Amino acid sequence: MRPSLPILTLLSLAAASAAYAADTRIVTRRYDPATIVTVAGQVGTQATIAFGDDERIENVAVGDSTMWQVTPNKRADLLFVKPVVKRARTNMTVVTDQRTYLFDLVANGVSQPVYVLRFSYPDKPKPVQPVVVAVQAPPPPAQPDPSTLNFRWKSAGSRQLVPTRVFDDGKAVYLGWPAEVPMPAILVRDVKGLEGPVNYSLKGDYVVVEGVPGQLVLRSGKEMATLTVEPSAPIRTAANTATQTSAH
């Protein structure tokens, strides 16, 4: 007796679901702060690292940022990773608002690449009723001195990629895009002209790039733009003004 069509359909769906669940390119690892997780990559293939639904990426640091492109999504709960050369190996640390993750990024041209890496987490302990203790409120954080901020940055290329706000404080570059605009990959060029991702953190509405490179490269698909810091104008003081006047 032949099974009815609905049963055959259910069996087909069950087989397809089993095949999908068995796809080794989709990996789930149990989170352990003392474990280094290996992410296998391949040129032309992007790996997505998914973090907990209730946590947000705050900082990403890559050991050798010239060989890997690392970009978070706007919500800061996904990280897109791919090598830019066939053979590349380095480490990566991701700090979220709840946890720290350690990774080995490996591309050898042979290993099967990871498409999606997810984490499972141990159950959170039940909250303990806090003991109310009167303490003095900490002082408010120091605000940056506006006179130290440099807004002399010029842009070129695709206007779609250029942030609406860019400035530096001599130690880091601050980039701000509207909430509805996806963030492009942020890159720098080395002395040989090779592009690599920067180390950055997410603070409020800004992406904060470590250091102040002379130029940043923004890429999304085939679109490209650059942000270049302009040289600061010389400070005019009474002494050098008098010197310039006497020279004439």
**Which pLDDT score, from 0 to 100, does residue 5 have?**
53
**Which pLDDT score, from 0 to 100, does residue 205 have?**
84
Alpha-carbon dihedral sign for residues 140, 142, 146, 149: negative
**Amino acid in position 233:** A
Instruction: Please give the Cα distance from 206 to 173 (Å, whole number).
Output: 9
Token couple for 140? 């408010």
- Convert the pLDDT of each residue in 139-179 to its tens digit: 654 445 677 789 999 999 999 999 999 999 989 999 999 88
Sites in the chain below the pLDDT cut of 50: 1, 141-143, 233-248
For the chain, helix, strand, coil in percent to 5 are 10, 40, 45
- Convert the pLDDT of each residue in 101-116 to its tens digit: 999 999 998 889 999 9
Token couple for 114? 């990871």
**Which pLDDT score, from 0 to 100, does residue 53 have?**
87
β-sheet bridge partners, residue 81: 47, 70
Q: Tell which residue, 108, 116, 87, 86, has the closest CA to residue 24.
A: 116
DSSP 211: B
Find the helix or strand (DSSP H, E) in which 84 lies: none
